[in-house]
């Protein structure tokens, strides 16, 4: 069935028709063998191996198992973050677990959102166990300051020419700031 624009009327017109679940993820009926053939799977093929997600799943008797491989790909910026932590490890104020975790989460998220469009990320310690993250483009600059402890409050600083601003830190505020300051042409 083609989904047309009028089908999107999330009407409250009849009781029980309110959508609390995701609209559009309609579970289509059982895929017939012709569909499998269209995918290149021979008609009548046995179903694929079961997937286990833990070692305990291996203790399944004669059930076919296949370990689901997870790919933990370290991006260059996360590699650099880890290097920074190592460089500071012997200092009077090494990078704290809190700062590292926050930076790791942020940079992983930014990588997911921007992929290769994310400009070069420059990391530096703040000398007190926190991390400063900077991006530049021409006369534009975005900084994220992640302190050593949560009580000190992280923040985002942006500079466009002579116009500086500061805003509270969150993943979305960093992404929005990068989009509006660094990635805009």
Partner 1 sequence: MPKLLVKQATVNYHGFFASPAFNLFGKLPEIITGLSKTFAVHNVGLGNFRLEGDAAEPSTAATVVRLGRFGIYKFSFDHVQASLNGFSDGDLEGMVSVIMAGNRWVRESVNDFAFKTHAFVYSSHSALSDGLTSSQFLLGLARRTTPILGEDLGSGIVETWHSAPMDAKIRLTLDHSLQERDGLYVSYMVVLERDDIDYVEIALRSRELLEKFLQEVGLEFERSQR
Partner 2 sequence: MPRTDSQRYPCIYRAITKKRWYQLGERRILSAAFMLKEKETGLSVLKTVGCSRDNCLATLNECYGEFVLETERVRDLGLEVDDDEPDAPNYSPNHAEITGLPFDDKLQAENRATELVNLASLYYDRYSEYA
The residues of the shown chain that bind partner 2, judged by CB under 8 A, are: 84, 87, 91, 120, 122-128, 132, 134, 136, 141, 143, 145, 155, 157, 159, 164-166
Q: How many angstroms separate the CA atoms of 123 and 181, rounded? A: 18
In order of 28, 59, 64, 84, the CA distances from 49 in angstroms are 23, 15, 6, 43
Question: Residues with Cβ < 8 Å from 153, sequence gap 6 or more?
Answer: 147, 168, 169
At closest approach, how far in Å is the CB of 54 from partner 1?
Answer: 15
Identify the CA nearest to 96 among candidates 85, 107, 109.
Answer: 85
State which residue, 20 or 168, has the beta carbon closest to partner 2.
168
State which residue, 16 or 61, has the beta carbon closest to partner 1.
16
At closest approach, how far in Å is the CB of 91 from partner 1?
Answer: 31
State which residue, 36 or 134, has the beta carbon closest to partner 2.
134
At closest approach, how far in Å is the CB of 97 from partner 2?
Answer: 19
- Please list the alpha-helical segments (H only) found in the chain: 33-38, 76-88, 97-114, 171-177
**Length, in residues, of the chain:** 185
What counts of helices (H) and strands (E) characterise the chain? 4, 7
Q: Which does 157 bind (CB under 5 to 8 A by kind): partner 2, partner 1, none?
A: partner 2
Q: Which does 129 bind (CB under 5 to 8 A by kind): partner 1, partner 2, none?
A: none
Residues that bind partner 1 (CB under 8 A): 1-5, 8, 10, 12, 15-16, 18-29, 31-32, 34-35, 38-40, 51, 68-71, 73, 109, 111-116, 170-172, 175-176, 179
Q: How many CB atoms lie within 10 A of CB 77?
A: 20
At closest approach, how far in Å is the CB of 101 from partner 2?
Answer: 20
Q: Which does 55 bind (CB under 5 to 8 A by kind): partner 1, partner 2, none?
A: none
């Amino acid at each position: 069935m083609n989904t047309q624009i009028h089908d999107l009327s999330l009407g409250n017109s009849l009781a029980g028709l309110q959508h609390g679940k995701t609209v559009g993820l309609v579970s289509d009926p059982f895929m017939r063998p012709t569909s499998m053939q269209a995918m290149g799977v021979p008609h009548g093929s046995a179903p694929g191996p079961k997937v286990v997600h833990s070692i305990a799943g291996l203790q399944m008797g004669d059930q076919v198992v296949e370990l689901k491989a997870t790919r933990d790909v370290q991006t260059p910026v996360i590699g650099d973050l880890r290097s920074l932590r190592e460089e500071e490890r012997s200092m009077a104020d090494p990078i704290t677990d809190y700062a590292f975790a926050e930076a790791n989460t942020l940079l992983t998220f930014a990588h997911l959102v921007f992929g290769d469009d994310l400009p070069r990320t420059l990391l530096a310690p703040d000398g007190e166990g926190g991390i400063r993250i900077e991006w530049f483009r021409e006369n534009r600059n975005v900084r994220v300051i992640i302190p050593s402890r949560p009580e000190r409050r992280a923040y985002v600083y942006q500079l466009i020419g002579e116009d500086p601003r500061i805003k509270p830190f969150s993943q979305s505020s960093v992404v929005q700031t990068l989009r509006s300051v660094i990635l805009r042409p």
